[in-house]
A and B are shown apart, each in its own frame.
Chain A
Amino acid sequence: MELFVFIVAAGMILGGAVGVITRSHPVHAALSLILTLFGVAVLFVAQNANFLAAVQVIVYAGAIVVLFLFVIMLLGVDRAESLRIDPVKVQRPLAAIVGVGLLAFIGGAIIQGRDTIHKRGAGIDIASATTSHDSNIKQIANDLFSNHVFAFELTSVLLVIAAVGTVLLARRPGRSGAADSSVSAGSPSTTAGATDKAALR
């Protein structure tokens, strides 16, 4: 049963990943990405990472891919690019060589080092599937809010910076100039509102 789940999920992951890099239409690539993300979520469940599987589905498949699709459709770049022509002649053979080399390198390292993976017992041990149904969340919370509190607080700062930076980046240029003098023009950020007010004075 476990083997069956692994094979199906691996098929979803690899099929979706190949779809992302071979479909010429960006929307199809985004949908293939969803397939891969769901496969990864299935493997998270198979390894007792229930909380991360839920977060994977909600954040990745629910938010990030939807963001991709919004950008693709709102910008009107949903035209298929031709994959037949190869502008740089040696690019694809070189990429294939790099890919095979990288896979052999990482795979060799994994196979060579597989005997060195042992339980260390240094941290909080992962609950097995037979224990209480919310033990995984409790364990992550214990680790997160005891050993990684500072990093957790820093991520909130990071998210605020990202949100403000994106609003500034995606703002249409020239809005804060002299052309638009009305403050109530729906300025997307507080700084734009401030400059509008400065322009009024």
Chain B
Amino acid sequence: MIAAVAHPTTTWYLLLAAALFTIGVVGVLVRRNPLVLFMCIELMLNAVNLTFVALAKALGDIGGQTTVFFVMVVAAAEVVVGLGIIVSILRKRPQATADDLAELKG
């Protein structure tokens, strides 16, 4: 009887990814610690990766998984550069939040 219950289709995965993406967007809008903002960006990137993998399976094309590979590489580079910027900002002003960083001049 349990086995007769619908098994997760592509739509379920896409809706889950949409929920994850939305949580990331709300986090970026609400939080003001620059490190947590970065984590929320990671959440959004993961939601997009999940979408790519789900559609790669649904469309029967490995290209979606290759794209996720590139997204991961770019995300790693982005995190490294972003954390470098955050380190250099927080070293000058240890308690800086996103509200204090309205101008780029240090």
With the chains together, A82 CA to B11 CA distance in Å? 38
A119 touches B76 (CB 8 A): no
B26 touches A21 (CB 8 A): yes
B87 neighbours in A (Cβ, 8 Å): 71, 75, 169-170
A56 touches B72 (CB 8 A): yes
With the chains together, A148 CA to B73 CA distance in Å? 14
Number of B positions contacting A (CB below 8 A): 76
A112 smallest CB distance to B (angstroms): 11
Q: Is the interface of B mostly helix, strand, loop or mixed?
A: helix
A110 on the B face (CB < 8 A)? yes
Interface residues on A, range: 35 or more
A63 smallest CB distance to B (angstroms): 7
A172 neighbours in B (Cβ, 8 Å): 91
B74 on the A face (CB < 8 A)? yes
A142 smallest CB distance to B (angstroms): 8
A162 touches B80 (CB 8 A): yes
A117 touches B58 (CB 8 A): yes
B70 smallest CB distance to A (angstroms): 6
With the chains together, A21 CA to B55 CA distance in Å? 27
Nearest CB in chain B to that of A96: its residue = B26
A162 smallest CB distance to B (angstroms): 4
Please provide the 7 A-B residue pairs with the shortest distance between their CB atoms, ordered closest to farther: A21-B27, A123-B61, A169-B84, A166-B84, A162-B77, A95-B29, A119-B60
Which residues on B are within 8 Å of A, measured CB to CB?
3, 5-16, 18-27, 29-33, 35-36, 38-40, 42-43, 46, 49-50, 53-63, 65-66, 68-70, 72-81, 83-88, 90-91, 94-95, 97, 99
**Sample of 8 further A-B pairs with CB below 8 A, known A81-B97, A144-B66:** A17-B27, A40-B49, A110-B15, A118-B59, A119-B58, A126-B60, A126-B62, A166-B80
Which residues on A are within 8 Å of B, measured CB to CB?
1-3, 6, 10, 13-14, 17-18, 20-21, 26, 29-30, 33, 36-37, 40, 43-44, 46-49, 51-52, 55-56, 59-60, 63-64, 67-68, 71-72, 75-77, 81, 87, 91-92, 94-96, 98-99, 102-103, 106-107, 110-111, 114, 117-126, 136, 139-140, 142-144, 147-148, 151, 155, 158-159, 161-163, 165-167, 169-170, 172
